[in-house]
Structure 1
Amino acid sequence: MQLTTAQSSLIVLAIYLGFALLELAYTRLFAKDEQTRHDGILEVVSTLMLLVVTQPLILFTVGMIGHAVFPHYANALADIPFLAALALFLVFEDMMQYWWHRASHSFAWLYNLHRAHHNARYMSVRLVYRNNILYYAMMPSIWFAGILVYLGLGWFYAGYLVVKMAVIIGAHSDFAWDKPLYRIKALSPLMWVVERTISTPATHHAHHGRHLSDGAVHYKGNFGNLLFFWDVLFGTAKITRTYPVSYGVENLPLATLGQQLLWPIFPENKDMHADIPGATPARAATPHAIAAD
């Protein structure tokens, strides 16, 4: 059965709300350790901008350009086999996002567009869509997805998005679904495969860890979104089955609200000791507790 766009969106919303409810019950969804007054603003604004403005606008723009310049290619791939469609999306959408994400941690100017996602000193479903508004507008994978949809693969994209977002939402949540499974010896071979195939809380939390001295931290790797396999393939994987003690950005000046949402329109703060209202941690740092024991 093929999903419609509306059905796909509702399922993703249900997955998101499911993890949010688990966090609400077990890890204080709205009161994370070290959250600031800016965090909620960032998360609401960037989420709404992506889902309501940026992503629909990209899909509309690609379709408009396609019909104007390449009308004969509309729905050209609509009848290709499922596995062929899967391969196209994994390469042109998920692998492209891997490289975009990796580039964002390799070039300072691009990291400024991605800084908001890592500025949070906690893990949560709240971070899934948290990024600079321009970061998403420039993300190649969204544009490639738009092209594939124009070529007739919208039927596949709806289901693909459900699977991808389920993995991403689960990987960001601090209700770590993988932790209890690691303790079951009989599941060890299965989890060996799983953690090398898709992003899990353990592998993705490592990417968000604050201190390089923490053995569970690997913020210069573990870039995969749906497939962690790209990290394995391209040599950026670190698998420890452990979780960082704390999260956030190490040894950088505090970022202003404007910088996080709309750098370079709002300039980068370069003063390590700047007093930025709303950006000061609300409480002292405490060890980060992982749920789902």
Structure 2
Amino acid sequence: MPAYSIAILAIFFSFALLELFRTNLLGKNEQTRDDGIVEVVSTVMLLAVTQPAVLFTSAWLAGTIAPQYAGALSGINVFAAIALFLVFDDMAQYWWHRASHSTPWLYNLHRAHHNARYMSVRLVYRNNLFYYAMMPGIWLSGVLIYLGLGWVYAGYIVVKLSVIIGAHSDVAWDKPLYKIKWLSPFMWLVERTISTPSTHHAHHGRHADDPAVNYKGNYGNLLFFWDILFGTAKITRSYPKSYGVENLAPATLGQQLMWPLFPEQKKLTEEGEAEGTAAKTA
């Protein structure tokens, strides 16, 4: 197993252990039987099949189309290489994520990630099985690896996943830091640079009238800076009262994992009917 994979697993299980002892990792409030199935299946498929297949296929396609460029960027400055991944992976993922909340068919591929009524490291890889296979950032990362930047990707992906794992955990690492007055200028910079539990939890909040919720924003994965730059940021230093999807009928297990092979349900729940018209992009 590559060193970067070991590092990512160590970070993931560190947060998982914190949740296990502090917030009941395996027994979250309002979780259902389907939640665990979706999380296990989507995580295993991504790590064992989808991501390796996409990276390999994109590098193979690049080699077939432009064999003369193999390793062409291997000698560039490390900061320039990191910038390429930030743009072609992280910024590309920002726009993919944003599109997933404004395009109905893409939202059906992303719905599983928001269906849980809790936050946890368990959600990091929770998505429809087709969602990551279509994600532009993974395909573009494969091309950059083909161009000779695999050595940078190994470090970049560790940093990125560290931020994403920490941002999804319900053991919010930023909460105690906000209470330290002399750290306020530092935290002001941090929360405008990377995704934090506060800013990312806002994106998972359930009710639009909750002041801590920004379901149509806070799309950043590694860098929250993209939300600042493109006008979708909301920073409150608080956390939503509840999590999940508002105004839609419950999603079946099949829909969460393999839409469009399993179609969405059309009928709203009684709660949804009381709250108003269904709105996938809300």
- TM-score of the superposed pair, with normalisation by structure 2: 0.94
The CA distance in 2 between the partners of 1:131 and 1:24, in whole Å, is: 22
Q: Give every structure 1 segment of 4 or more consecutive aligned residues whose post-TM-superposition deviation is greater than 4 Å.
A: none
AA at the equivalent of 1:186: W
Matches within 5 A, 1:159-238: 159-238=155-234
Name the CA distance, whole Å, in 2 between partners of 1:21 and 1:114.
Answer: 27
Q: Secondary structure at the match of 2:266?
A: coil
Equivalent-residue separation in structure 1 for 2:54 and 2:174 (angstroms):
34
How far apart, CA to CA, are the structure 2 residues paired with 1:14 and 1:93? Answer: 23
Q: How does 1:61-210 map to 2 (within 5 A)?
A: 61-210=57-206
Gapped regions of structure 2 (runs ≥ 5): 271-282
SS in 1 for 2:249: coil
Percent sequence identity over aligned pairs: 71
In 2, Cα distance between equivalents of 1:135 and 1:84: 29
* Deviation of the 1:68 alpha carbon: 2.2
Can you list the C-alpha shifts for 1:43-75, whole angstroms capped at 9, x where unaligned? Answer: 000001111000100111122222222111111
Q: Does 1:256 align with 2:252?
A: yes
Counterpart of 1:245, as a letter, is K
CA distance in 1, matches of 2:84, 2:64: 24
The number of aligned residues is 270
Deviation digits for residues 222-270 of structure 1, max 9, x if unmatched? 0000000000000000000000010000110000111110111111111
Higher relative contact order (CA 8 A, sep 6+): 1
Q: Which residue does the alignment assign to 1:280?
A: none
- The reply on whether 1:9 has 2:9 as its aligned counterpart is no
Where structure 1 has 5 or more consecutive residues not aligned to the other structure, the ranges are 275-293
Q: Which residue of 1 aligns with 2:22?
A: 26
One-letter amino acid matched to 1:109: W
Return the TM-score normalized by structure 1.
0.91
SS in 1 for 2:156: helix
Counterpart-to-counterpart distance in 2, 1:44 and 1:188: 38
Q: CA deviation at 1:273?
A: 3.9
Give RMSD over aligned pairs: 1.0
Q: Distance in 2 between matches of 1:26 and 1:228?
A: 27
- Give the Cα–Cα distance (whole angstroms) in 1 for the partners of residues 101 and 143 of structure 2: 26
